Structure 1
């Protein structure tokens, strides 16, 4: 009866299979996926198929990532985005060339149903990127911040651990939830390949879009399991730069 949180997958189905096996996931476990299921490696459609199937077998909470939102715009509105192409979208567009219209419709339904965030009964927040409103996620003016914001993580990185909660400069966003689990900004940017905690923020994006592994973590014990680096699992692909 564990609660397991999974970082950004970015089309790496092989890595997803690995972490599910290594963590010995069962149908009794609750799985919380932090978004960015697509863009990067070649199996984005297959990742979504896997998640749709998994939702029918056990409790799965799927959060919306910015790359998932970009894919929805392309699938549902035929909206091109050259910047998206350069950041993993091209591999996804290529992968969808062999996907049937019926499957695309199922994927659109899945993408539209993604949650912007999840707050559990222990007051732990799960969100792809962050939030900006100092009163919390329920007061966020711009929903896109949930899957685009980087200021929450940037603030956490610069946090002074000597600061007390009643300090005038203590970040108010850090006082609102017991813990916050995010992805979006890979910890490989600060030279790490395992989950990083700063203040009460946990970043579980360990760089699977690039040359890092995919991570699944038990939110209670903080034990985690990882795949092989994605560039080794997809050694014949370029991936994202």
Structure 2
């Protein structure tokens, strides 16, 4: 059997150029798995393009797509105010511009179907992957939407279920992945002038790209904390 890799991407937020750069560099093979942690839309320039690209990749590679809070806000915006106003204040205006700037009716049904199939979490071996940072003392089965999509990267202790958490959602000011107490945050602020990060679970190596084509790399120690 060949060796496969699991590549985990932080928050993309419409940064299609950075995402395409990393996919091209990593060139995932047929046995590899690519996991995206959510927040594909809002704030960045190419939300529609990101969803189109993910739909294309679903036909080509083993792609696991998680739900982020920005996908939730966009879906809620279909109900009209106040949800639509809240979404627009949080990056929805830029998303609508990528669809032509008129109405949510311009969003293709295939994109709403994509949102419907997003997963709340994913487990690969000893790693738990979620969008946000669920409490260390809750199993993923006991988590609610607040835990999975909105909770921030703070108050961290080794998880009681023994899993190593990989998440996004909380932009890191130094634009590097954060590692603390068996938790890694991969939101490195690409849409805020930082980098998009892709982490390889099997090695701890990561690579970053920004919208201007700059690249960085590094490595994290992904061994579980000693109890």
Q: Residue in 1 aligned with 2:87? A: 84
What corresponds to 1:111 in structure 2? Answer: 115
1:140-155 matched pairs, under 5 angstroms: 140=143, 142-150=144-152, 153-155=153-155
For 2:105 and 2:69, locate their aligned partners in 1 and report how far apart those are by CA, in whole Å.
Answer: 23
Consecutive unaligned residues in structure 1, runs of 5 or more: 157-170, 234-241
Q: Is this contact kept in 1: 2:137–2:160, CA < 8 A? A: no
Alignment of 1:63-212 (within 5 A): 63-74=66-77, 76-78=78-80, 80-97=83-100, 104-120=108-124, 122-132=125-135, 134-140=137-143, 142-150=144-152, 153-156=153-156, 171=157, 174-188=159-173, 192-212=174-194
How far the C-alpha of 1:174 sits from its partner, in A, is: 1.8
Structure 2 segments unaligned to the other structure (5+ residues): 214-227
Give the whole-Å Cα distance in 2 for the aligned partners of 1:29 and 1:177.
24
Residue 218 of structure 2 is matched in structure 1 by: none
Displacement after TM superposition at 1:60 (Å): 0.9
Shift of 1:42: 1.7
Q: Distance in 2 between matches of 1:93 and 1:101?
A: 10
- Deviation string for 1:140-194 (max 9, x for gaps)? 2x224211111xx2112xxxxxxxxxxxxxx4x6231331000000112xxx222
Cα distance between partner residues in 1 of 2:51 and 2:6: 21
Q: 29, 46, 51: which is aligned to 1:48? A: 51
Counterpart Cα distance in 2 of 1:26 and 1:40 = 31
Larger helix share, 1 or 2? 1
Aligned 8 A contact 1:22 1:225 in 2: no
Structure 2: distance between partners of 1:181 and 1:78: 33
For CA contacts below 8 A with separation 6 or more, give which structure has more relative contact order.
Answer: 1
Q: What TM-score comes out, normalization by structure 2 length?
A: 0.83
1:72 to 1:27, Cα distance in 2 relative to 1, 3 A: farther
Alignment of 1:18-37 (within 5 A): 18-37=21-40
More strand by share: 2
Could you say what secondary structure the match of 2:207 adopts? strand
CA deviations on 1:82-119 (whole Å, 9 max, x unpaired) are 33322211101222226996862111111011111111
Deviation of 1:53 (Å): 1.3
Change (3 A) 1:66 1:26: same
- SS in structure 1 opposite 2:99? helix
Structure 1 length normalisation: TM-score? Answer: 0.79
